[in-house]
Structure 1
């Protein structure tokens, strides 16, 4: 990491704690011979570096820290950057098995401050302690109240507002699944029972905890993707009730509790759109929004339009206009595509982010943020989200979408090479694997977990060998290094992952051609044994990365997946040895005809995003 000497000659008192943290961890040395820094609040963000001095005028304190990052690029410069958005930042998912350690969360906050981002949203479904509810976040790595208070104070020192993001309707399956939980709380497996007084006692405790823990009055209350709202226990008790009526009833009660604690909630908007969709989808709304749906929303509660998929500016144009019909304040959430497997879709992230933010700017949306989800086991480490956050920051401050500019800014703000992040898409982007929908192909996941003796994707891959592609990636990631232990662990993981995927792809070519009493079968047996060892090697580096960044809870899922894959390759080695010795005539599961799984008639691919759908046609 590049070191820059600085001397805070005259800065406001409320910047000093954050400056000392940045200096200690992010490559700035405080000394009298360093660049003389003066700073003061003002109406605009202006930075001037000249003659061994840095003069900063800032609207928000996070902008002061962004100004420091320019010293990593040059000492003499001048700029007047007026951000497009009033608030910009990230929502970090700490609920899908991986819970960031407080140390890693602080690292993310420092990098965000150097980018000039002023908002961090901490998404916790049940991964925070809730007094009186011992099973809430039990064995899931939940944060204590004191840990959250410390993180909140740390974020504030960097000019970042830490906003709690909880769930007050759906997405509570892990909290509700314990047999000790009162069944009266459940409508369905992951949705609370609307109208049940015990539910509002629970939500009161949630909101009181947030109010007592965080400095901000803002809170995100979720209420998204409640697919089966009113169709479980509620239906048996009360009959069928329109979803929009239940939403209005429930939101009114939640808002009332929020007001009690002087909290200002925001919520996702999708449930209002799903109620008028013929397919239950968020994005296929016909025509305009009916008045009864508009009336179901609360004009005092901002709606958050989330969209991670669309690349066409015209789609965002229409959907932003549809949202304005609600007369509620509007925020936008994009995505950095960390949820499709062990490697993120960086190229997809850029293709969807730039048109989305452009439309947000045109329509005067004041709050935007990037979501970093961890669906299906949090296989992508959240450190990779930093590249997407840089995209959000650079659009905000400079509207510059040049990749060379982005790379320079990324290295200045994180100390890491942008190429190590930008090329992560190559783990999924294989020659000829074009997507058939707005979802990118996640080849790294389904190739990692595909069973060696029952290859579900055989007809989709159709004999193509991608081993050379992954061997090239292995060499590429072997060249990346960092003096920051967590980033070094990240690069070593991707180096080994590429090595494993290369060997797996080679196996896919050799194994089907193995015959009884053939040397190919003996070769395949040796190859399978080697791949089993590579799985164990991959598990070791993955565990080290997990331990560097996350609490230990949740890695048991990764362990089971990789250990299971290693075990299946050991079984494959034994079966191939039996075939080579002539003890069996064939391996039926390997040789039987295969049908297309993730490709359509034109050969375009869909993703396969769940581990249990990658490994067997039987139910897991």
Structure 2
């Protein structure tokens, strides 16, 4: 057989070792399988003979599953005129990281239907990802706490049992994820739980914004009682060996009380319900306060997830610090979908590349790529696909997937996600996700194109960037229009691809509206008040259409709960167009609700 120095097959992920017999191809026929001790865990050897015989050797059941996934991709990637055939040769493959996970935010308004989750599991398993977490704040039906989740359409124990079983059949582990300190806004909003917070009502948050009270008071014994009850319910529903307990962004915890974070972790670690389980915690507090590493190193079964969502996040030095302190780690890059509507494609790819390179060098034991839904979860699910695919490729074998890029992912997604015969949809997803790069306002964790969608009180002026002009917005609009035209040419065969094309067209319309808003502001003093009333009336009409489209598409993938809150962000902007100005203290519907309740108290 001829040994190729560079694998050229369109596989996601590319395998570790590939030997082909020239250009010979065969139609796969009879298959045989045997276990072998000569491969690493989850590894496989796939031999494809001239007569079509298929032989799979695997280290375990997962390895066999991944061999069969590779075979299915080989068939799908057959060139025109050779449909149904595979190349003759041998693939030998195994993962860099034992745990390659996805964390899906199901608490920021969108609660996906079980059908949506099953489809997602099929997709990520086919890319050899093997771990799933649902980020839960209030979207589990905790008995006795109906006032918190009553309008959220939450999951119950039966839902999670079905999902766990579905995952297991595809060699994906469903693990429990329950924030246990910060991000408790949805609980502290209610009178019954408000006394458990460090503060009540609202308070200062990051970026100078006002946030709803969000952090439990670790010195209050009642807080531990509540958390123990919530954790016990969730781990009973999802009996995983790994439990993510969060502990990130305790905004309300004063600097003088930082040491209480470690004490709170010790209390959680000692809960009987968590005995024998590996606890995952987010890495922002240990990174900001290295003195906490002493406590982490001293406690068994705690792993730090080092998270960061920009292309230049310092994963490598953060992992070195954890390793030097004797603390185990995972890396947690992101899909860059949230706070963007259309994504930040290339940033997501580079963020995943940096994380997985650092993982290889720094000894991280796993990867958890995150997909958040901050501020109304307005992005379509397909916006996350490039980041998920990049994370899958790089966590499986970083060396052979080194050249992964937005352009290469576009074609791979058309093959192995959308099944687009026109090879258009993947490129449209990538182009829409990089449209924000055509203007100079580049901010961390958010697309500059939608900053004034979430905070219409912020002026759009060259103060954001000295080179910002209406011409930049026109360039973005033209790029979006080109991508939307490509969506129209796409011919996806998968249901996910069909929905993606429809949803992306609606999302593109919303961002085009944001561009028109910005252009109008740049012709004035940057404020909404400087936009002529006739122009605002036109923007208001377009926002009404955008809200209707958002509502119409929501139920194709998600439960109804959360839709009204998601729309409230857009309805606020529409109200600002009508009024001719923006509310200076606006920070979202949840903060507005917290203020109202605080006033009534």
CA contact (8 A) 1:97 1:555 kept: yes
Match of 2:286 among 259, 265, 272: 272
Map of 1:69 onto structure 2: 73
1:187 partnered with 2:198: yes
Q: Choose from 489, 495, 499 the match for 2:505.
A: 495
Deviations 1:529-564 (A, max 9, x none): 443332222223222332112221222133233334
Establish whether residue 57 from structure 1 lines up as the match of residue 62 from structure 2: no
Tell whether the 8 Å contact from 1:316 to 1:356 is kept in structure 2 after alignment: yes
Instruction: Say whether the 8 Å CA contact 1:434–1:441 is kept in structure 2.
Output: no
When residues 498 and 611 of structure 1 are mapped into structure 2, their CA distance, relative to the original with a 3 A threshold, is farther
- Residue 401 (structure 1) aligns with: 403
Counterpart for residue 334 of structure 1:
333
The residue number in structure 2 matching 1:257 is 271
Larger radius of gyration, structure 1 or 2? Answer: 1
Cα distance between partner residues in 1 of 2:485 and 2:402: 31
Aligned partners of 1:229 and 1:510: how far apart in 2? 41
Aligned partner (choices 554, 562, 573) of residue 565 of structure 1 = 573
Q: In structure 2, the residue corresponding to 1:248 is in which secondary structure?
A: helix
2:356 is matched with 357
**CA 1:76/1:176 → structure 2, altered by over 3 Å: closer, same or farther?**
same
Note the 1:271-350 alignment, pairs <5 A: 271-275=285-289, 289-290=290-291, 293-295=293-295, 297-312=297-312, 315-350=314-349
- Give the CA deviation at 1:510: 6.2
Alignment match, 2:480? 473
Q: What residue is the counterpart of 1:546 in the other structure?
A: 554
Mapped to 2, the partners of 1:468 and 1:477 lie a distance apart of 14
> Is structure 2 residue 115 aligned with structure 1 residue 103?
yes
* Residue 499 of structure 1, CA deviation: 4.2
The superposition leaves residues 209-250 of structure 1 with CA deviations (integer Å, 9 ceiling, x where unpaired) of 23322242211111111133368xxxxxxxx6x422x22322
- Aligned match of 2:106 in 94, 98, 101? 94
Offset of 1:153 from its aligned partner?
A: 0.6
Alignment check: 8 A CA contact 2:376 2:566 kept: yes
Q: How does 1:214-233 map to 2 (within 5 A)?
A: 214-229=238-253
Residue 373, structure 1, aligned to residue 372, structure 2 = yes
Q: What is the TM-score when the length of structure 2 is the normalising length?
A: 0.76
Deviation, 1:82, is 2.4
Mapped partners of 1:571, 1:194: distance in 2: 43
**Alignment counterpart, residue 171 of structure 1, candidates 170, 183, 189:** 183
Q: 1:533 aligns to what?
A: 541
In 2, Cα distance between the equivalents of 1:440 and 1:207?
29
- Deviation digits for residues 125-153 of structure 1, max 9, x if unmatched? 12112223223423122111110111011
Kept in 1, the 8 Å contact 2:99–2:367? The answer is: yes
Please list the CA deviations of residues 295-322 of structure 1 after superposition, one character each: whole Å capped at 9, or x if unmatched: 3554313332323245458x33322111
CA distance in 2, matches of 1:64, 1:258: 40
Shift of 1:270: 2.1
Alpha carbons 2:410, 2:426 under 8 Å: kept: yes
TM-score, normalised via structure 1 length: 0.74
Q: Does 1:442 align with 2:447?
A: yes
- Name the counterpart of 1:284: none
- Report the CA distance shift for 1:204/1:130 in structure 2 as closer, same or farther (over 3 A): same
Counterpart position of 1:606: none
Q: Is the 8 A contact 1:247 1:296 kept in 2?
A: no
Assess, with a 3 A threshold, how the Cα gap between structure 1 residues 302 and 406 changes in structure 2: closer, same or farther: farther
Q: Distance in 1 between matches of 2:341 and 2:108?
A: 14
From 190, 200, 220, the equivalent of 1:196 is 220
Partner of 2:168: 156
Specify whether residues 549 and 341 from structure 1 end up closer, same or farther in structure 2 by C-alpha distance, changes over 3 A only: same
The yes-or-no answer on 1:113 pairing with 2:160 is: no
CA distance 1:198–1:414, shift in 2 (3 Å): same
**Alpha-carbon deviations, 1:154-204, whole Å to 9, x = none?**
100111001111112221111222113372x33333222324333233232
Q: Distance in 2 between matches of 1:507 and 1:128?
A: 38
**1:476, CA displacement in angstroms?**
2.1
C-alpha spacing 1:210/1:562, structure 2 compared with 1 (3 Å):
closer
Q: Equivalent residue for 2:258?
A: 243
Query: Residue 119 of structure 1 contacts residue 163 of structure 1 at CA under 8 Å; is this kept in 2?
Result: yes
Q: Number of aligned pairs?
A: 510
- Give the whole-Å Cα distance in 2 for the aligned partners of 1:214 and 1:504: 41
Q: Deviations over 1:267-289 (max 9, x none)?
A: 123222323xxxxxxxxxxxxx4
